[in-house]
Amino acid sequence: MRTATENQAIQVEITDEMVDRFRVAPGTKVRLDRWDTKWNVPASLELLNKDELKREADEFIKQRVQELAELQDVFWADGRYSLLVIVQGSDASGKDSIIKHVTSA
């Protein structure tokens, strides 16, 4: 178990690079049955407990709320584009909470 000082020393930023592997370029055809959903957790994130990782993820979303709002306006105004978000997890893994949190932006 880490001490409070060690916990404070562990600062990990969830980067766009980590998220990019889940993005699909416009116009790209995707076969979801062939999409690898496995995510190899970076060693720096493996050190975080559930609460620490949740704080990092919350911060990542907070930093991008304005971007999400702008993209929502583009989708709505243009009427040509769609966004498919797949949230995968076992029962009681928090999928509903994730959707509510992200769409509340």
Overall residue count recorded for the chain in this entry: 105
In the chain, domain spans? 4-103
Cα–Cα distance measured from residue 59 to residue 14, given in angstroms and rounded to the nearest whole number = 9
Summary mean pLDDT of the chain: 76
Helix 50-63 with 65-78: angle, nearest 10 deg: 50
pLDDT of residue 9: 46
| This model's pTM is above 0.85 | no
The residue among 87 and 82 whose pLDDT is bigger is 87
Map tokens 């919350």 to a residue.
Answer: 58
